[in-house]
Every structure is written in structure tokens, then in C-alpha cells.
């Protein structure tokens, strides 16, 4: 899926609702993917994201070394693959192949975008102070991409143990909030 550039100033609107994401990294030229739900926006612009990546995950070492990743946002159509990715380890599985996902070269980082995801955020690690104690990485989004598709994008939100809430209807209220 060809993506178009997405304004960095609007990245928060993609992550603030709390979707499950897939994080891609690269290690000695081999790409890997993990599933992640523990993330938060930390600033609007440049967009800063905080996220927890367990030190048991293969991605942990890759991210620590390369200091780069892509956050890919899947929709409900990919739910089975999202769970598959979350239930396997890059130590023993080539996940792009196994789950029939398409890596696309990023513009600024070594990790690939996942073509099938509707949005992709190229990120650099900017702060590792809380990595040792909490496995908490702080990322800056340096480039964002979005699918030009106009249909509603139904993200999935993890409730635990393979149960997900699928994004529902939208409501709009008068608000001064960003």
C-alpha cells in the first residue's frame, strides 16, 4: 500500500486513543516485528512517545543497539497476524515471512515499515534513562506515513489475554483541547 506523508503535528491523534501497534526493528540486516500496547504520547511536536519493551523480547536488544524503530498501526483486518506476531519470538521466527507481511524501506531508519499497516511512524530513541529499571524507551517520531484510504480505520485495543476492543463509533464534542 503506497503511503503519503502525515504531519508530525498530528501524530498524537493516531496514538492517543491507545491502539495496539507493531514495532519493527532491524538487527544485522534482519528485520523483526513485535506487538506492543504499552505506549503513551509524551509531547505533541516533535512527537515524543514513551513505550515499554520487555527485556525478554528480542526487540529489546535490537532497539537498544540500533536506537531506531518503526511504530506501525494495524487495523482489525490484521488482528490474527498481530496476535501471531505477539506470540512468537524473532529469535526463532522470521516474522515478515511467517505472517506474510511486507517490509518497505523507511526513509530515515534501518527498520522497515509494515506495508499492510495503515500508519507508520519512523522513530529514533532519544532517552534511555528508564530502560534499566522499567524497560521504558523514549522515542522521537521523525517521519510519519499514512494510508490514503478514506474508509474508517478500525484499530484494535488490547483488553488482555487475546481479547480486543475494536474501535467503535465516533463522537465530537465542543472542546478547547488539542
Residues that bind a second copy (CB under 8 A): 10, 12-13, 16-19, 35, 37-43, 48, 50-52, 76, 79-80, 83, 86-87, 129-130, 134, 136, 138, 154, 156-178
Closest CB to a second copy among residues 7, 108? 7
Could you identify the residue written with the cell 516474522?
Answer: 95
- d(CA 167, CA 18) in angstroms, rounded, equals 10
For residue 22, which of 93, 109, 81 has the smallest C-alpha distance?
Answer: 81
Closest CB to a second copy among residues 11, 117? 11
Closest CB to a second copy among residues 106, 138? 138
Q: How far is the CB of 165 from a second copy (least distance, A)?
A: 5
Q: How far is the CB of 59 from a second copy (least distance, A)?
A: 15
For residue 68, which of 142, 13, 5, 163 has the smallest C-alpha distance?
Answer: 142
Closest CB to a second copy among residues 143, 158? 158
Q: H helices of 7-121, where?
A: 12-15, 58-66, 79-86, 95-98
- d(CA 63, CA 85) in angstroms, rounded, equals 17
Question: From the CB of residue 137, how many other CB atoms can be counted at a distance below 10 Å?
Answer: 26
Q: How far is the CB of 105 from a second copy (least distance, A)?
A: 29
Q: How far is the CB of 157 from a second copy (least distance, A)?
A: 4
Q: How far is the CB of 60 from a second copy (least distance, A)?
A: 15
Could you identify the residue written with the cell 474508517?
Answer: 152
Closest CB to a second copy among residues 52, 104? 52
For residue 63, which of 101, 95, 24 has the smallest C-alpha distance?
Answer: 24
Residue 146 pairs in a beta bridge with: 4, 119
Amino acid at each position: 500500500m503506497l503511503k503519503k506523508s502525515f504531519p508530525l503535528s498530528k501524530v498524537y491523534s493516531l496514538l492517543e486513543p491507545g491502539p495496539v501497534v507493531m514495532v519493527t526493528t532491524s538487527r544485522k540486516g534482519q528485520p523483526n516485528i513485535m506487538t506492543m500496547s504499552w505506549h503513551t504520547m509524551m509531547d505533541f511536536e516533535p512527537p515524543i512517545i514513551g513505550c515499554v519493551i520487555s527485556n525478554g523480547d528480542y526487540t529489546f536488544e535490537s532497539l537498544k543497539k540500533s536506537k531506531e524503530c518503526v511504530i506501525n498501526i494495524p487495523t482489525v483486518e490484521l488482528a490474527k497476524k498481530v496476535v501471531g506476531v505477539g506470540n512468537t519470538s524473532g529469535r526463532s521466527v522470521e516474522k515478515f515471512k511467517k505472517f506474510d507481511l511486507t517490509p518497505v524501506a523507511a526513509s530515515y531508519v534501518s527498520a522497515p515499515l509494515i506495508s499492510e499497516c495503515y500508519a507508520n511512524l519512523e522513530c529514533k530513541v532519544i532517552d534511555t534513562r528508564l530502560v534499566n529499571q522499567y524497560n521504558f524507551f523514549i522515542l522521537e517520531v521523525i517521519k510519519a506515513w499514512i494510508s490514503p484510504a478514506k474508509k474508517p480505520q478500525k484499530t484494535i485495543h488490547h483488553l488482555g489475554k487475546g481479547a480486543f476492543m475494536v474501535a467503535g463509533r465516533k463522537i465530537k464534542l465542543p472542546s478547547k483541547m488539542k
